Structure 1
């Protein structure tokens, strides 16, 4: 009897080991780019989970996952009101945790489609990333925050958190126009609260040769990278509808520099990420770390083909590193195909 029990236990342990080995063997080691169709990808990591947000079905959808490469939960969290300033043209939403609440920053318009001169920035607030969300209204992004006159065109707002203060960074116009063929610059302002900005400061405009070449010049899609004591703002330049779309970089001179002073930022003399013969432009990227925090990853979009305009974009992931001076090295975009999964993903899946 005793021998039978020992034999049974041995078989059970062996079966468990074989099952575990089989699980590990069948767990994919790679993922495939692109991850999805779409544009303006944003991702943020909070308490071991990744949150993304994008425009879908005339509203905003939020996802949550333990993985960089796939969604585990996906929910539509907000639909715009009818006949309002923010009913249409829902562009580039971002989701940020600030002071215990969640905020969605986005651009929208009273117009359905072109012309695009009515785009403004709005803010939504919730206790949870999945809502329900309260509409906190339109953000004033002009030059007169006290009187709030001439609220100016603004898109792609993101948030920089530094030394206990919050700052808004966005792409905007110098002044109002009644058409949309207008140069776009980067602006920064302190956030008085998550839906109110202080006086804006012109942060950067296209001045270098590689930032020019289209019928307008633009900086858009600003994103933040904080690594060790360094702070970077990445931006996209050239037309997002062209193969020339690429990324530039601003670096804060030191952690003690004032972010609201334009001279505190050093612009990279060359693009930091750009397309290839087979990857038709890259841009509007956010950055994060792998599940075990051992790797850095860039989450960007590119055009599927040279034609198709805005409706022909896809979302990709790619690992990057840093050089000895602390600058990120993105390398060349690999585009479509398989890549090794981010460090720590397989371990999570095999638990």
Structure 2
């Protein structure tokens, strides 16, 4: 099938053995109804895809019931680990870890429980390994805290548990570009802001970037923050303008099979119209910039 035939949000690309594996939010309606699972598509050129292959289907008595969102698959310790977010009645949205021996799955529960803090509405956990330290960076939702937050928590080496207290990296209002929204608490105040889709990437220069999305003046947008220390804990300095605009976002960076760094994202931010797109990206003295045409 063609790339434009695939309905997908929150795309994540894994390059392995000369192939591209495309994961993402693939339920036909990820907002309402029972969650189905996550599919994966396979390609050699990013345009023609085989699939869908059922990478994850919830096992019996799995706690998550709906909002199966934003899977990422990381190669770690000789296996494949899927990080994804779920929700259920009476259970906060949370990120859990799954394991498989193949990028096609099937992915089975790995961590016995979600790795985001109990009682927090959280989503979009992403894995980042820094030397001997293993981190998960995730969002605490604006629907609970109004000013959306991005946190980091250390993980055990086996990815089974969170270790220690999470560290606040920043709030949405620390950047200038996210647009204020009305709070969900009935107060009528318009000071809420979204954090969504964090992804960390260390550029060729050694700078550590954090990509994240929010709602801005043109709809869904993606901004960039740079760690002043080059470490996950920051402090994080925001670029004044978003890198992606025009209802584009939830992005990650991957290296193409011919060695080019590219940005994967979905556009538009409307179900069922969302599709996977990509564009080449490069690092300059001024930071990240888009290069070439959108695919």
Do the two structures share a fold, i.e. TM-score over 0.5? yes
Please list the CA deviations of residues 148-184 of structure 1 after superposition, one character each: whole Å capped at 9, or x if unmatched. xx4422111111122233211111148xxxx768442
Kept in 2: contact 1:41–1:315 (CA 8 A) = yes
Distance in 2 of aligned mates of 1:230 and 1:45: 22
Kept in 2: contact 1:51–1:64 (CA 8 A) = yes
- Name structure 2 gaps, 5 residues minimum: 28-35, 183-191
Matched, 1:236 2:207: no
Question: Superposed, which structure 2 residues align to 1:28-39 within 5 Å?
Answer: 34=4, 36-39=6-9
Structure 1 residue aligned with 2:285, among 320, 324, 327?
324
Distance in 1 of aligned mates of 2:5 and 2:129: 28
Kept in 2: contact 1:52–1:95 (CA 8 A) = no
Question: Superposed, which structure 2 residues align to 1:115-130 within 5 Å?
Answer: 118-130=92-104
Question: Superposed, which structure 2 residues align to 1:73-152 within 5 Å?
Answer: 74-82=52-60, 84-111=62-89, 118-136=92-110, 137-142=112-117, 150-152=118-120
Question: Pairwise CA RMSD of aligned residues?
Answer: 2.8
Q: Report the equivalent of 1:211.
A: 178
Kept in 2: contact 1:66–1:72 (CA 8 A) = no
Could you tell me the TM-score, scaled by structure 1's length?
A: 0.69
Distance in 1 of aligned mates of 2:76 and 2:136: 12
Could you tell me the TM-score, scaled by structure 2's length?
A: 0.81
Q: Displacement of 1:33 after TM fit?
A: 7.0
Question: Superposed, which structure 2 residues align to 1:1-351 within 5 Å?
Answer: 34=4, 36-56=6-26, 58-72=36-50, 74-82=52-60, 84-111=62-89, 118-136=92-110, 137-142=112-117, 150-173=118-141, 182-192=146-156, 193-198=158-163, 199-207=165-173, 208-215=175-182, 216-228=192-204, 229-238=206-215, 243-254=218-229, 257-259=230-232, 261-263=233-235, 265-275=236-246, 281-293=247-259, 295-303=260-268, 309-325=270-286, 327-330=287-290, 334=294
Please list the CA deviations of residues 232-281 of structure 1 after superposition, one character each: whole Å capped at 9, or x if unmatched. 11000117xx9421111121224xx442x342x22212212212xxxxx1
SS at match of 1:118: strand
Please list the CA deviations of residues 292-345 of structure 1 after superposition, one character each: whole Å capped at 9, or x if unmatched. 10x2211111227xxxx44432221212222234x21026985xxxx5xxxxxx
Distance in 2 of aligned mates of 1:155 and 1:70: 30
SS at match of 1:141: coil
Rg larger for? 1
More helix by share: 1
| CA gap 1:324/1:63 in 2 versus in 1, 3 angstroms | same
Distance in 1 of aligned mates of 2:293 and 2:150: 25
Q: Displacement of 1:73 after TM fit?
A: 5.4
Distance in 1 of aligned mates of 2:273 and 2:151: 28
Q: How many residues align?
A: 272
| CA gap 1:87/1:164 in 2 versus in 1, 3 angstroms | same
Kept in 1: contact 2:255–2:261 (CA 8 A) = yes
Q: Which has the higher contact order (CA 8 A, sep 6+)?
A: 1
Please list the CA deviations of residues 47-79 of structure 1 after superposition, one character each: whole Å capped at 9, or x if unmatched. 433222134451111233332233245410221
More strand by share: 2
